[in-house]
Structure 1
Amino acid sequence: MEIVSVAFDVHLPAGVAGPAAMNFDVRCFLIPHADGLSLLDTGVAGSAAAIGTALTRLGATWDDVSDIVLSHDHPDHVGSLDEVIALAPHAAVWGNSPLSTQSLADGDSLRNLRVLSTPGHTAGHVSLLHGEGTLLVGDLVGSHNGQLQRAPAPFTADPSQAEESIRKIARINALHMLFGHGAEIDQPQTALQELLDV
């Protein structure tokens, strides 16, 4: 079973996050492991039904969700956390936010995932390496029309720390990169280097 992306379209009216209206996608991920599934992020409020539909398509239920990992605590990534906890009450909640019940440190292993501390977008932001080939980077970077882009400056707590975290993931020879916003990119090293060179 492969990692499954669950995407939601979001519209923010003008004035909410800047002078112009914004349309973007938000993604969370169901990650299979030997004993069930881990869920990376929970999406915006009201996303639990779509996650449940994805579970059903996989032949799984909420009882199969053993772990909920929060890349960071922005509302578009934790908005459905309470709903998800109610549906999967036995799942441990991992991350580095007050919403987590279990903390994560750089290099930790969680099921078939390696934790990478990638602060900058938020202080406790984490990314995950699945096996040796897939990086799940939350909001450290995103993709738009096949190009990598930094998280918007107004939403990044420490831009210089974010740059260091981008350099860190650029040193990993990943086959695929999955994002909190935007479609997957294969062979991301060139795109990461181009982003760092800008």
Structure 2
Amino acid sequence: MFERNVADGVHRIEHAHVNVYLVEDDDGVTLVDTGFPATFSHIESALREIGRSPRDVRAIVLTHAHFDHVGSARRAHRVWQVPVWAHRREQYLAAHPYRYKPERARLLYPFRYPKSLLILGRMTAAGALGVRGLSDTTPFETGARLDVPGGPRAVFTPGHTFGHCALHLPDRNTVISGDALVTLDPYTCKTGPHVVAGAATTDSAQALASLSALAETAAGTVLPGHGEPWFDGVDSAVEQALLAGPS
């Protein structure tokens, strides 16, 4: 699925329950996260829909480097010859996207939440089990304003992973929250704002604490890594996520 202008000059690609974003300005396009290996063709189609081509992509920025967000990064980096940016604490995971230790055993979740099997099946069909990482990412630091189209500021939101960063677009009143705050949890099928289940989160307590950094952006629109955009302000999204707690 492709949605144009979920925020000003920000377009959403949803594939296998993972969101990828195209951020446009006069200098070109920034691709935020890359989904799965099979997402690559959907990204190319979305570029064509907005009158762009891969030549217009100036950078790829990862909110974090789990396999479902780094899945097309290696191919895009090599084929398009564009840099892939990641927080310095995500660089190891970007190279080894399966080498992370979740807070809870993920294999138990389909028994507790059988509806998640449909989501996980679609992810598998999109290449979730065959993601290859990349070792030559371009590092950025906490709080940095990235020199890429859209000029996003990196908001350090650890907990889901050690180096997770949301991307604040202040001139567009928008924050791309990645998996720091989602409106669909693939492991539980819960909807509405919350942090991702311990099946994929390193430290849920830290993830909940990091929501304060999201709230400080005061953004009107929240664009999550999974689920529908949230247009009722980041404060209300954070409030609901805190009430929901960990799962």
Counterpart residue number, 1:173: 218
Counterpart residue number, 1:4: 11
Aligned-partner residue type, residue 62 of structure 1: P
**Are 1:152 and 2:230 counterparts?**
no
**Are 1:122 and 2:161 counterparts?**
yes
Root-mean-square deviation (Å):
1.6
Unaligned runs of 5+ in 1: 10-24
**Are 1:93 and 2:129 counterparts?**
no
Which of 151, 176, 179 is matched with 1:139 structurally?
A: 179
Segment of structure 1 superposing worse, 80-89 or 38-47: 80-89
Counterpart secondary structure, 1:56 = helix
- Higher RCO (C-alpha 8 Å, min separation 6): 2
Which of 56, 71, 79 is matched with 1:79 structurally?
A: 71
Counterpart secondary structure, 2:155 = strand
CA distance in 1, matches of 2:59, 2:166: 15
Aligned residues: 182
- Deviation, 1:81, is 1.3
- Deviation, 1:26, is 0.3
Bigger share in strand = 1
- Deviation, 1:114, is 0.8
Aligned-partner residue type, residue 56 of structure 1: R
Counterpart residue number, 2:145: 109
Bigger share in helix = 2
Aligned-partner residue type, residue 86 of structure 2: G
Aligned sequence identity (%): 30
Counterpart residue number, 1:13: none
Segment of structure 1 superposing worse, 149-158 or 185-194: 185-194
Counterpart secondary structure, 2:160 = coil
Whether contact under 8 Å (1:121, 1:151) holds in the other structure is: yes
Residues 1:151 and 1:28: Cα distance change in structure 2 (over 3 Å): same
For normalisation by structure 2, the TM-score amounts to: 0.69
- Deviation, 1:34, is 2.8
Unaligned runs of 5+ in 2: 1-7, 95-135, 185-189
Aligned-partner residue type, residue 64 of structure 1: D
For normalisation by structure 1, the TM-score amounts to: 0.86
Segment of structure 1 superposing worse, 59-68 or 162-171: 162-171
- Deviation, 1:168, is 1.5
